[in-house]
Structure 1
């Protein structure tokens, strides 16, 4: 029962991510592959649990997982960019519908009885490994960008905790198909939390090192002789910056008026002569 509660937390861990997607109306750099793989794995485990006896916990948690992951994918498709939306729909149709249907047909017609349960069990192991390995591309992105913005810590934490619980559950049932993939899940979960700790601190250090950029704006100064000259002036956020710019503009206008007055005076002298 504890494993089901923690697995529920794993499924609900991405909720803040999808709230963010809903508010920003964009999926940003978040990827749909982990959710597609999680849905496929939940579907397989649900079928496996229905064939095997005394696995009510597997039935309930994977039924919940199918509903939640489908909701996530639907939200992702709505707010994703065109390219991401198309690729997500293609994967959903080919893997979660096509491949799953093929597995059901082959398992039903080619094998039977206890052999079918064993085959499905090892298929579940294989795809559970894929589910745990799906975030590896996220880890590459974290290492490359040194940013953990798109790797939620809560998901990594509950994934690790869930792996421990389901590993213990598999040992109690003496079911290697349940126990084995959770060893990899535990290792990958620890790796994600380790990277989060490293690059979260590194990101803070980088932000402290960065100095605010100096924005430059061009001020046109009318010269007494020749054309206008352009000088870059630091844009200062304080109120004095606006006053200084105003003074410079007033001085330029006065210079222009002086030049016009001098030209008028010269023309009047010429006329007098």
Structure 2
């Protein structure tokens, strides 16, 4: 009975996960239609690919027994994400294309290193522990990757708020200019001083 429940919950989980992997399809139909990635970022798709590859590897029987459903859904997810990444690379501007190709290459290298280490350096529980830990870590990275768009704007907003705060605190305290030239530069020249024309 426990195995049946495990299998049924696994099936339901896979169905919902597949909807998650397919949800960016609308965005990519738009990208293909407009022949442009517009302002979209490719980072979330590359990070999702890494998460899927590691999770699919973790679910294989020689790494983690009785988790084949994990491998199947994440294998399907990896295939979907590869399609997204390739479309993005094809239609992205040159600068973004170079960035995503570099990140995509790094993802493949990380996955290859994990495969080699887990196959030849570890066995049984240590192999399962390493692969499970990495899959969990990169799952968190995957879900946080959309924030890469917010970070520069967030920092800029914080710095802008600091400038406005400083201005509001010190706006009345400009200091007294020491010379007439400084007063002219500050726009605070004494308006009562007669000019040559008035004399």
Pair 1:95-2:93 in alignment: no
4+ residue runs over 4 A deviation = 139-144
Aligned to 2:82: 70
Q: Normalised by the size of structure 1, how large is the TM-score?
A: 0.50
SS of 2:73's equivalent? Answer: helix
Aligned to 1:191: none
Structure 2: stretches of 5+ with no match in the other structure: 1-10, 156-199
SS of 1:26's equivalent? Answer: coil
Deviations 1:164-191 (A, max 9, x none): xxxxxxxxxxxxxxxxxxxxxxxxxxxx
Aligned to 1:138: 149
Aligned to 1:114: 125
> 1:28-177 maps to which residues of 2 (within 5 A)?
28-50=38-60, 51-96=63-108, 98-140=109-151
SS of 1:134's equivalent? Answer: helix
The root-mean-square deviation of aligned C-alpha atoms, in Å, is 1.9
Structure 1: stretches of 5+ with no match in the other structure: 145-273
**Distance 1:59-1:19 versus aligned 2 partners, 3 A rule:** same
Work out the CA distance in 2 between the residues paired with 1:61 and 1:138: 28
Bigger strand fraction:
1
Larger radius of gyration: 1
Work out the CA distance in 1 between the residues paired with 2:119 and 2:152: 41
Work out the CA distance in 2 between the residues paired with 1:63 and 1:9: 14
Q: Normalised by the size of structure 2, how large is the TM-score?
A: 0.68
Answer 1 or 2: higher relative contact order, Cα 8 Å, separation at least 6: 2
